[in-house]
Amino acid sequence: DTAVSQTPKYLVTQMGNDKSIKCEQNLGHDTMYWYKQDSKKFLKIMFSYNNKELIINETVPNRFSPKSPDKAHLNLHINSLELGDSAVYFCASSRRQGWNGYTFGSGTRITVV
């Protein structure tokens, strides 16, 4: 069983569209995250939820809205997609105190055309 699964794996969409990507973890972790990886492989945290409560909200455009219906799921909705949103988005999860590290999903590559 995949520990952290993301869907879809690839998403190609036109500018201005609204899209959602989903993440699910079956590890029993309390905390989930969204990271954005740019073309230079730089990883930037976007959001973090602990047991459905938002605990990290970095400087991300309001067009990005995370939702956590339960502690095993964290979705990301993006309104009015822009060219600069093209990137790979990684979901991750960890125990409440993350010093054992995170478990990452395999990523969703979004290409905005």
Partner 1 sequence: GNSVTQMEGPVTLSEEAFLTINCTYTATGYPSLFWYVQYPGEGLQLLLKATKADDKGSNKGFEATYRKETTSFHLEKGSVQVSDSAVYFCALSVPYGNNRLAFGKGNQVVVIP
Q: Which residues bind partner 1 (CB under 8 A)?
A: 4, 31, 33, 40-43, 45, 48, 50, 55-56, 90, 92, 94, 96-107
Tokens representing 98?
A: 């993350």
Q: Does residue 74 contact residue 23 with C-beta atoms inside 8 Å?
A: yes
Taking the complex as a whole, the smallest distance from the CB of residue 58 to partner 1 amounts, in Å, to: 9
**End-to-end CA distance of the chain, in Å?**
34
Nearer to partner 1, 14 or 97 (CB): 97
Side-chain-side CA neighbours of 42 within 13 Å: the count stands at 4
Nearer to partner 1, 51 or 79 (CB): 51
Nearer to partner 1, 15 or 55 (CB): 55
* CA Rg value for the chain: 13
Nearer to partner 1, 14 or 40 (CB): 40
Taking the complex as a whole, the smallest distance from the CB of residue 64 to partner 1 amounts, in Å, to: 18
Q: Does residue 68 contact residue 52 with C-beta atoms inside 8 Å?
A: yes
Taking the complex as a whole, the smallest distance from the CB of residue 42 to partner 1 amounts, in Å, to: 6
